[in-house]
C-alpha cells in the first residue's frame, strides 16, 4: 500500500473524530461502512455484529455530553490506522452501565485500531483506561452475569 492511501486513511480517521466532536451523527456514514463491526461491547453492551456501532456511538455521545476526542497520534500501516486519543466528557445521560447520570466529568486516554476498506472504517477495536473512566464518573464496576 502506498503512502497516499495511508494518508487518505489517516484523513478519514481525523474526519471521523471531527464528526464525533461536532455531533454530526448523520455524517457517520461518510466515515463508517454500513456493516462496520465494533469490537468494544464491554463498554457499549451492544452485540458484536455489523452495523451496531452506529447506535453505540449515538448512545455514547448522548450519555457523555459534551464528549470530545482529541487526536494525539495517528499511525497507518496497510489497511489499519491506529489512533491514540484523549477523550473527555460528562456523565450527563443514560448509559447501560449507569442509567442515572452522575454529572461527573472524565478525561482518559484511548487507543483505537481502525480497519479501512473501500474508503470507510470497516472495523473498530479500542482500549481505554476504563477503570479510570468508571472511577472518575462514579460508576459501579460491571459484574459478570
Question: In the chain, what are the domains?
Answer: 3-137 (3.10.450.50)
Q: What is the pLDDT of residues 38-47, one digit of tens each?
A: 887 645 555 6
Name the phi and psi angles at 36, rounded to 5: -55, 140
Instruction: Say whether pLDDT at 97 is over 80.
Output: no
Residue 39 is predicted with a pLDDT of 80
Q: What is the pLDDT of residues 59-89, one digit of tens each?
A: 889 999 999 999 999 999 999 999 999 999 9
Q: What is the pLDDT of residues 120-135, one digit of tens each?
A: 999 999 999 888 988 9
Cell of 68: 470530545
Q: What is the pLDDT of residues 8-35, one digit of tens each?
A: 999 999 999 999 999 999 999 999 999 9
DSSP H or E segment with residue 80:
strand 80-90
Residue 41 is predicted with a pLDDT of 60
Average pLDDT, the chain: 89
Whether the model pTM is above 0.85 = yes
Pairing of strands 80-90, 68-77: antiparallel
Amino acid at each position: 500500500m502506498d503512502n497516499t492511501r495511508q494518508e487518505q486513511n489517516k484523513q478519514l480517521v481525523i474526519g471521523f473524530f471531527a464528526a464525533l466532536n461536532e455531533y454530526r451523527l448523520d455524517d457517520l456514514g461518510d466515515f463508517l461502512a454500513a456493516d462496520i463491526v465494533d469490537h468494544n461491547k464491554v463498554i457499549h453492551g451492544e452485540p458484536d455484529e455489523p452495523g451496531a456501532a452506529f447506535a453505540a456511538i449515538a448512545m455514547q455521545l448522548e450519555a457523555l455530553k459534551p464528549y470530545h476526542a482529541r487526536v494525539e497520534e495517528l499511525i497507518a500501516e496497510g489497511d489499519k490506522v491506529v489512533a491514540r486519543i484523549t477523550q473527555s466528557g460528562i456523565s450527563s445521560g443514560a448509559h447501560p452501565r449507569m442509567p442515572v447520570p452522575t454529572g461527573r466529568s472524565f478525561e482518559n486516554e484511548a487507543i483505537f485500531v481502525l480497519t479501512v476498506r473501500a474508503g470507510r472504517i470497516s472495523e473498530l477495536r479500542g482500549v481505554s483506561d476504563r477503570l479510570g473512566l468508571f472511577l472518575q464518573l462514579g460508576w459501579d464496576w460491571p459484574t459478570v452475569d
